[in-house]
Amino acid sequence: MQLQKCSIFLMLLILLLAGCTSKDVAESSGGIVSYMSSTSLGGKDGNGDITAFTYSLYITNENSNSYIINSIEPILVDEIMAKVIDVEIIKKVNKKINPKETLEVVGEIQIETKGMTKEEIVELTDLISDYKIALETVIETQKSD
C-alpha cells in the first residue's frame, strides 16, 4: 500500500515537472535570455473588427555586463502580416538591465479581424515566431583615485 502511494506520488511529480517546462525560451549570444510569459486576445475599444493581441516578454541578463534594451520587435508569422493594422510594431523600451536582473516588456499588436469567426480569432494565439532585441552594452569606467 505504501509503495503504491509512493509510485503514484512520483508519477504525479514527474507529470507536473514535465508540464512546467517551457519551449518559449531563447538565448542570444550576449547572455540575454528571453522568456515568453503570456499572450492574450481581446476586442479593441469596443470595435468588433479589431482584435488586440497583447504579449508579455521577460528578458533576463545572465551576463556580467549591463545592457540598455533599446527596443523589442516581435517577428510575426507570414499569414498574419496582411491583417496587422499597426505598421510600426517595434516596442520602444530604452531601459537599463543590470547583471542578474529581469525586465518585463509588454506590447500590443492590433489585427483586423473583420469577417473572421470567433474560432478563427482564437487560433491567432501563435502570431509571434521570434523577437529581435536591439541593445547596447554599458561599459562602466574605472575611476582613478
User: Strand order of the sheet with strand 32-44?
Assistant: 25-27, 32-44, 47-61, 102-112
Q: Is 4 among the domain residues?
A: no
Percent of the chain's residues with pLDDT above 90:
23
Q: How far apart are CA 103 and CA 95, in angstroms?
A: 9
Kindly tell me if the per-residue pLDDT of 17 is higher than 70. no
Kindly tell me if the per-residue pLDDT of 111 is higher than 70. yes
Kindly tell me if the per-residue pLDDT of 26 is higher than 80. no
- More confident: 24 or 92: 92
Pick the range with the lowest mean pLDDT from 18-32, 44-58, 74-88.
18-32
Q: Which CATH number covers residue 130?
A: 2.60.40
Boundaries of domain holding 93: 31-138
Tally of domains in the chain = 1
Pick the range with the lowest mean pLDDT from 42-56, 75-89, 107-121.
42-56
Q: Is 77 among the domain residues?
A: yes
